[in-house]
Amino acid sequence: MSRLYDISQPLRADIPVWPGDTPFAHEPTWVLGEQCPVNVSRLVLSTHTGTHADAPSHYAVEGRTIDAVDLACYIGLCVVLDMTHAGPRVEPGHLLPVLSESVERVLLRTWSRFPHEEWRSDFTTIAAESIDLLAERGARLIGVDAPSLDPEVDSALLAHRRVHHHGMAILEGLVLDAVPPGHYELIAPPLKLAGGDAAPVRALLRELEQ
């Protein structure tokens, strides 16, 4: 039986969110008891909370919304690369020594230890040139354990714009601490949120049969 890695953040009270964005809430609507046969609750969250997939509409006015993206991008062979040594930004020079000639999906680990308990503004970003390199090698998806490809305080969104130019998909907020670098099957389709600029995903990696 192939090992499954759950590379998703738990959606929970106090999950750190982007500064100024909607705090996560999960509250009871009905409570199971003598008067009520069920527990039912409600969720309030940003589309970019936790482990999620960006839609092109998040960064491009004409971009597809998350319910209209090509789901095939989010399911299939991928490679996990250790970029914990990259510092503030992953540059092509960090990728070239470890990147194959042909890749379909690339997940980049940048945190030595994922910051579950606090918001960290100093997350590692991805250089626009690195997106171009991944696209040249055939990548149709980039995934990161950071909350964004671009810096927290940034309006240029250069990495997102290159992703849009190449028609790639994006996963953000992955948790890769327990995953050895290597090749896996990625399973991470986004929720079908009509008109969404992003949506939560339950992201998994399955070890490949030897």
Ligand X SMILES: Nc1ccccc1C(=O)C[C@H](N)C(=O)O
Interface residues with ligand X (CB under 6 A)? 18, 21, 46, 48, 54, 58, 147-148, 150, 172
Residue with tokens 């250069």: 158
166 annotated ligand-binding residue: no
Among ligand X, Zn ion, none, residue 196 binds (CB under 5-8 Å by kind): none
Active site residue 166: no
Nearer to ligand X, 18 or 206 (CB): 18
- Minimum Å gap between C-beta 171 and Zn ion is 9
Among Zn ion, ligand X, none, residue 21 binds (CB under 5-8 Å by kind): ligand X
- Minimum Å gap between C-beta 204 and ligand X is 20
Query: Distance between CA atoms of 147 and 120, rounded to whole angstroms?
Result: 9
Name the residue whose CB lies closest to ligand X. 148
Interface with Zn ion, residue 197, by CB under 5 A: no
Q: Binding string, 132-171, against Zn ion, x = CB under 5 A?
A: ----------------x-----------------------
Beta-carbon neighbour count of residue 76 at 10 Å? Answer: 14
Query: Distance between CA atoms of 43 and 128, rounded to whole angstroms?
Result: 35
Among ligand X, Zn ion, none, residue 144 binds (CB under 5-8 Å by kind): none
Summarize the annotated binding site as residue ranges: 18, 48, 52, 54, 160, 172
Active site residues: 58
> Site residues (CB under 5 A) for Zn ion?
48, 54, 148, 172, 198
